[in-house]
Structure 1
Amino acid sequence: MKEIIVKNYKETEGIQQGEGKNNFTVKPVIPAEGVNKCSANFVEVAPGNTAYGYHWHEANEEVFYIISGEASVKTEDGEIHLKQGDAIFFPADVKGSHVISNPSETEKLVYLDFGTANRPDIVHFTGTKAGMAVSEDGKVHMFGK
């Protein structure tokens, strides 16, 4: 995609993902078919919920920027608490293991999730034998369930 994109998280259509307490809304900044070198999504997480599960990437780095609310991020080194205006970087390595949750009882967490879009990529669900492979064409293949 070779065009400028402007999105506002309050006006962007969301896609509900996950189930149970791992339930969140993704609002793409860059449409999936336009992702080439980087990806960016607004993510909304309701009080008490998490997004994406505890994982790390072999090929992609990520940065989360907290737009509103507060977050608790589980990492290999322990919990990190974030507030509006904070940013956190995750390297492409097991040391970049993370899962973000919303510890609030009342306020929605909204953050920008952006990073590299290297394909193929292998995503490992930390502490399990499960994961997923993202092929060059963007298809997701689950393994080790």
Structure 2
Amino acid sequence: MNKIIIANYREMEPQVISRDGNSFAVKPIIEETDAGKCSASFVEVEPGQFAYGYHYHEVNEEIFYIIRGHAVVRTPEGEKNLKAGDAIAFPASPEGAHVIRNGSATEKLVYLDAGTRLMPDVVHFPDTHTGMVCSASGVHHFRES
């Protein structure tokens, strides 16, 4: 990082990500292109929805801080129930696999997703046997055999 960055969550336009009938909104507050080695985004998940899908990173670590709502996080150790004020950290390994879903029937889940953003990184999606390599040249998808 070569400069101080100030950004306001309330002023950020959400990027809506939709896949397979599921959607969630991401508000990147500190992007890796600005910060260098880390990033932070606010993620908003409506009731019954989840964010990103079950995955793990080979290089990057993530931390989620729950701001509002009830989160259910699937991990290799089973489901973890989180509430506002809770934080959870994921190591860069299969043991850090995770997906977060909104466990409420009525309230929006809002959490801060922060972590390292070193490149290249390989992200694995065990449920679909797919993955992606994230590098300076872009994102390259692959199927695991």
TM-score, with structure 2 as normaliser:
0.92
* CA–CA distance in structure 1, aligned partners of residues 34 and 137 of structure 2: 11
Name the structure 2 match of 1:108: 108
Name the structure 2 match of 1:119: 119
Query: SS state of the match for residue 30, structure 2?
Result: coil
Cα deviation, 1:111-145, whole Å, max 9, x if unaligned, reads 0000111100000002442011001x161111118
Cα distance, 1:88–1:116 mapped onto 2, change above 3 Å: same
Q: Percent of aligned positions with the same letter in both sequences?
A: 56
**1:15, distance to aligned residue in structure 2 (A):** 0.4
Cα deviation, 1:58-96, whole Å, max 9, x if unaligned, reads 000000000111100000000000000000000000000
**How many residues are paired up?**
144
Query: SS state of the match for residue 115, structure 2?
Result: strand
Cα deviation, 1:36-79, whole Å, max 9, x if unaligned, reads 11111111101110000000000000000001111000000000
Cα distance, 1:108–1:20 mapped onto 2, change above 3 Å: farther
Cα distance, 1:123–1:99 mapped onto 2, change above 3 Å: same
What are the ranges of 5 or more consecutive residues in structure 1 without an aligned counterpart?
none
Give the RMSD, CA atoms, in angstroms. Answer: 1.6
Question: After TM superposition, what 4+ stretches of structure 1 lie above 6 angstroms from structure 2?
Answer: none
* CA–CA distance in structure 2, aligned partners of residues 104 and 53 of structure 1: 18
Cα distance, 1:10–1:142 mapped onto 2, change above 3 Å: same
The one-letter code sitting in structure 1 at the alignment partner of 2:93 is D
Contact in 1 for aligned 2:67/2:111 (Cα 8 Å): yes
**1:109, distance to aligned residue in structure 2 (A):** 0.5
What are the ranges of 5 or more consecutive residues in structure 2 without an aligned counterpart?
none
Which of the two has greater strand per residue?
Answer: 2
**1:21, distance to aligned residue in structure 2 (A):** 4.6
Name the structure 1 match of 2:45: 45
Name the structure 1 match of 2:99: 99
Name the structure 2 match of 1:36: 36
